[in-house]
Amino acid sequence: MPNIVNAKKSGVITIVGKPNVGKSTLLNTICKKKVSIVSYKPQTTRNQIKTLFSNEMLDITFVDTPGFHFAKNKLDLFLNSEIKKTFKSCDLVLFLVDPTRPVDDEDLEIIKFVKSYKLEKIILVITKCDVVTEGSIRNHINSISKHFTPIATTKISSKNNSFELLFEAIYENLIGYQQLEETQDSDNFNIAEIIREQILLNCKKEVPYATGIYIEKTSFDESKNIFNIFANIFVEKSSQKPILIGKNGTMIKKIGVNARKELLKIYDCKINLKLFVKVQTDWRNNPKVLSLLGYSNK
């Protein structure tokens, strides 16, 4: 943190940017825990995810949003609505830009959304700055500045994990202090996200995007200190089911083993995780299934 002698400040900060720009990585690194799942594939985050960060000078509710993308189905419409929803109550926006990719229509659409909510406090954050030249970074800043004027611009890198300048910009642009609402983690949501993360990391092509996770039942056996979890993995096509299961069940076993390892980092008990693959045809356009999986604004 910078050497600031003023009073502590607080606020709600929304993190936006196109898919795979580094939003979830930034949030997890700042909070020093897994708040949002991460993979090298775009469209990893599907819900707005809130977490409270606190240090000696700041109390912040960070909101990680799905990356904006052009809608192809009702799930996509939900993802974009999650971005819009966060704009209504935030104090600052962190607009993340990846300098390894050109400024394109997705970036401009996000800027258009932000402007439509008359949000003027936008901090431009250049990610992955360790893998590009200063000239490339300047070109990106100039390209973005043609469409809006950020109140501050800062650079970050996942390698050095230095956020001093980012925190300084945040502090300078928050007004005062008020008690923030506690963020509540949902067990079922966290478990489903961890399972989905392993699918993203281990499966290829369209399969990860065609899967939805439904936690059918959980129970805790106090006498054995075992957390029992029964989860359904929905796929859209019959042809996707054997891919997800793998030859002799190798893929679903790998997903389950790796998911258990991540769950053991969160829960101080044994984990009994049972995964079942089921076909729900075209579920990304089915309002009932979307609601069941938590992708609904109702």
The answer for residues whose C-beta is within 8 angstroms of residue 129's C-beta and 6 or more apart is: 99, 137, 155, 156, 157
Residue 170, strand partner residues: none
**Strongest mean pLDDT among 103-117, 118-132, 138-152, 245-259:** 245-259
Q: What is the pLDDT of residue 251?
A: 96
How many CA atoms does the CB half-sphere of 124 hold within 13 Å?
A: 24
Q: Are 218 and 230 in contact (CB under 8 A)?
A: yes
Mean pLDDT rounded to a whole number for the chain: 81
Residue 60, strand partner residues: 11, 53
Tokens of 35: 């708040």
Q: What's the pLDDT tens digit per position in 231-257?
A: 999 999 999 999 999 999 999 999 999
Work out the average pLDDT over 59-72.
70
State pTM to two decimals. Answer: 0.60
Q: What's the pLDDT tens digit per position in 176-212?
A: 887 776 554 567 878 888 898 899 889 887 787 789 9
Q: What is the pLDDT of residue 281?
A: 92
Work out the average pLDDT over 43-66.
74
- H/E stretch holding 12: strand 9-16
Q: How do strand 9-16 and strand 270-279 relate by DSSP bridges?
A: unpaired
For tokens 């949002």, what's the residue? 36
Cα(52)–Cα(183) distance, rounded to whole angstroms?
6
